[in-house]
Amino acid sequence: MKTLLSIIMLTTSILGATWNTDSDPTPAEVQALVNGASAGDTISIAAGAFSWGSGVTIGDRINIKGQGGRNGTTKITVTVGGFDVFHFTGFTATETLTISGIEFNLLDDTSNTSAVETSSCTLDQLIITDCEFHYGSSQLLLAGAKGVVYECNSYNPIKFISYTAGTTAQANESWDDLTAGTNDALFIEDNNIYWNSDYNESYSQETIGTFNGGKLVIRYNAWDGTGYPNSTTVDPIMTHGSAGGYWQAETYGARRGQSVVEIYNNTVTATRVDALCTIRGSTNLVYNNTLDTATYNPVILLREEEQNGGQWNPARTAWPAEDQVHNSFFWNNVLRLNGTPNSNYVSVQSGSETYIQEDRDYWMNEPASSGGSESFTGKNGGSSAYPTDGVRHPTLGNMTFSSSGANAHYPYTPYNYPHPLRTQAGSTYTGQVKLDGSGAKPSTSNGAKFDLN
């Protein structure tokens, strides 16, 4: 008896306890369970269909688990828009945090309606899996998170995932190391995104979008827009560059671009999809993607944010720009219009040609042993071109190009697939542990659930 109790106490302290809701959980009940739980514990939400008019705020590493997976039996429907069903905020976690097994019906596309939001957090191993999402302005609004979102279904979103490094400090930190092929990113893999006749907006936005720094890997996902009811394009991916003014000048509201983006082995099918992705900054590796459409010849669109001045005052007129597209590579992508591949599928937006040029800022090949590269002195992403020339505005770094030597990222190897965190999500002990110590042995060391009878 003493030995068994010691085992239970040890396992609970390492893996966390499971707190079960009643059969008809309200946000208030779940909030009470969260308030009483400790880091590493799991809130297990009962099977059933539930209507919620408010959300749950979670200030620690508390896992949320539904029953039966994305096609299962835990279904939460919001009755009004404008809140997050689960909002994780105000803590740092270096161990896994998992949300799994829930169907979220976000009712419509009201602004600020999300299934899961993370804010004011540093999450090194976030796992979101086996969930289903319907509607919502940003079904997942993730700030300050690394980890993996996988095997989820997204239906009729304005945005499936909106991602940012988080705070200004986190965004700046994400630019410190521009190595590709590492686990230092948010991975989005093996998800399905659908539009059908139930889509209730006259336009679409990017289903995966970014702002203010961070590293992102988008791989092995599938978009199906064949049922999209509008004549406008669907937009799978858009990565933003800098925004709101010159960050070197600490302009109020200035944001960083994404730092490293890898997009590969995705498929997109839609009646109209004009661009596989719109890339507005960062170093990018985009390869082995397939797109089929029937309206316009599809492209990968490259754009410089500063090209029109606006928030950047005075306007920059010379290369390089802050956080601009650089050291980017495109290869083995097949973008087809009515079955015919577009052989010239990378397009630089009109007005951006000064900043984005082939064989200086981007290459139509995988990283190679020759062809040159861009490099930074000072802070990565910086520019000393007027007006951030140290006279009009401060200069914190600068980018130069050399045509000699290997490309950046050579030799490139993508990070492990499937993501290793996928082996740590969703497992529980199976069998029973009885008070006399008999019964089935635990089948895994991932998650503790005991039936003491």
Structure tokens at 27: 């946000």
Query: Which pLDDT belongs to residue 3?
Result: 31
How many alpha carbons lie under 13 Å from residue 240 in its C-beta half-sphere?
A: 20
What's the rounded mean pLDDT across residues 380-408? 97
Structure tokens at 308: 């029109």
Q: Tell me how far apart the alpha carbons of residues 375 and 408 are, in angstroms, rounded to a whole number.
A: 9
Find out whether 302 and 347 touch, Cβ atoms under 8 Å.
yes
**Domain segments of the chain as ranges:** 191-198+223-415
> What is the CB neighbour count within 10 angstroms for residue 270?
24
Find out whether 229 and 295 touch, Cβ atoms under 8 Å.
no
Read off the pTM: 0.92
What 3-state class would DSSP assign to 174? helix
Task: List pLDDT tens digits, range 279-321.
Answer: 999 999 999 999 999 999 999 999 999 998 889 999 999 999 9
How many alpha carbons lie under 13 Å from residue 331 in its C-beta half-sphere?
A: 11
Find out whether 328 and 362 touch, Cβ atoms under 8 Å.
yes
Please state the φ and ψ torsions of residue 178, each to the nearest 5 degrees: -105, 30
Task: List pLDDT tens digits, range 102-135.
Answer: 999 998 777 788 999 999 999 999 999 999 999 9
Q: Tell me how far apart the alpha carbons of residues 201 and 273 are, in angstroms, rounded to a whole number.
A: 16
Indicate the residue type of 267: T
Structure tokens at 122: 């540093």
User: 3-state DSSP helix/strand/coil percent for the chain, to nearest 5?
Assistant: 10, 35, 55
